[in-house]
Each structure stands twice: as C-alpha cells, then as structure tokens.
C-alpha cells in the first residue's frame, strides 16, 4: 500500500488573550467550539478540520496526560490561514465581517476563478476567506 497523507486535520494559532480570541472565532466566524478550556480551544471547521487556539507560551512545557504526552510547541505570528467558503456565500461573509467592524485588508480575483477576502483576527493573524478556483484541488 502506498503511503498517502489524506488532509491537514489540525491547524494551530497562538493567541495572547483567549477570551478575546474565542469571542472573535465564535461570534464573527461562527465556528462551534468542540473543546473550551482556559489554555486552548478546539473549533470544528466544516466538519472536516479542527482549528486549535493556544495561549501563547502555555504549551512550551509540553502537556502530560494519563494517556500520553504532547511535546512543546508555540508560535509567534502573525500567521496566515485560508478558510474555504462557497462563492454564493462570500457576499454574506463580507456583510458579517462589516457587521462586527472587521476591516477587509485585501482582495484577490484568482486566474482560475476563485476570490479571496483578507482580514485579521484580534492577534493580527491574516485570515482569508477563499472560494473555489484558487488551486488545482480547490
């Protein structure tokens, strides 16, 4: 059997204020929290992926649980994260961002037909809402 990575399952961002970040991801981006703890959040992204938010610096010592160990990790952004949306929903997402005072910093109309809107979360991470037509596989 040939080895094959199926998809990116988890993506992590590191935030300075968990309450502020979770408010943004739950209220503005409407992501449902699957786990909500003081040091991290796990959000369901489209029923296929997980967005993890960690408080900056809190995972530098690793994490021991009775079932195993997660090695140290951390990040110092700003990072970039692209979120897939349908073409027909893009205008509604633009209104949702405006409703919450989120500034659109950039736009792209890709040669294959996809469109992107770029904006920032409260920690300065660059987020992108992108429609099909950006990549060969999307």
How far from the centroid of its chain's Cα atoms is residue 104's Cα?
16
Is 54 a member of any domain? yes
Is 135 a member of any domain? no
19: enclosing H helix or E strand = helix 18-23
Is 80 a member of any domain? yes
Strand ranges for 39-87 from DSSP E: 40-45, 49-55, 63-65, 68-70, 80-84
What are 28's two structure tokens? 């503005």
Q: Which domain holds residue 58?
A: 10-62+75-130
Is 91 a member of any domain? yes
pLDDT at 123 over 90: yes
Is 47 a member of any domain? yes
Contacts of 75 (CB under 8 A, 6+ apart): 12, 13, 14, 56
What are 125's two structure tokens? 């991470």
Give the total number of structural domains in the chain: 1
Q: What is the pLDDT of residue 5?
A: 86
Is 69 a member of any domain? no
Q: pTM (2 decimals)?
A: 0.93
Q: What's 40's domain CATH number?
A: 3.10.180.10
pLDDT tens figures, 21-79:
999 999 999 999 999 998 899 999 999 999 999 999 999 999 899 999 999 999 998 99
What percent of the chain is modeled with pLDDT above 90? 91
Contacts of 43 (CB under 8 A, 6+ apart): 25, 26, 31, 32, 33, 34, 50, 51, 52, 53
Q: What is the pLDDT of residue 106?
A: 98
Is 2 a member of any domain? no
Q: What is the pLDDT of residue 35?
A: 97
Is 4 a member of any domain? no
Phi, psi of 80 (to 5 degrees): -120, 140
């Amino acid at each position: 059997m040939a080895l094959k990575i199926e998809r990116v399952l988890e993506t992590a961002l590191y935030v300075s204020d968990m309450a502020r970040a979770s408010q943004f991801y739950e209220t503005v981006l409407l992501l449902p929290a699957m786990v909500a703890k003081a040091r991290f959040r796990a959000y369901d992204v489209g029923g296929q992926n997980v967005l993890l938010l960690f408080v900056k610096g809190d995972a530098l010592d690793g994490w021991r649980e009775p079932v195993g160990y997660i090695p140290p990790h951390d990040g110092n952004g700003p990072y970039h994260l692209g979120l897939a949306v349908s073409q027909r929903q893009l205008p509604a997402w633009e209104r949702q961002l405006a409703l919450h005072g989120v500034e659109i910093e950039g736009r792209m109309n890709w040669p294959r037909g996809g469109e992107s809107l770029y904006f920032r979360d409260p920690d300065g991470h660059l987020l992108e809402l992108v429609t099909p037509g950006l990549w060969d596989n999307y």
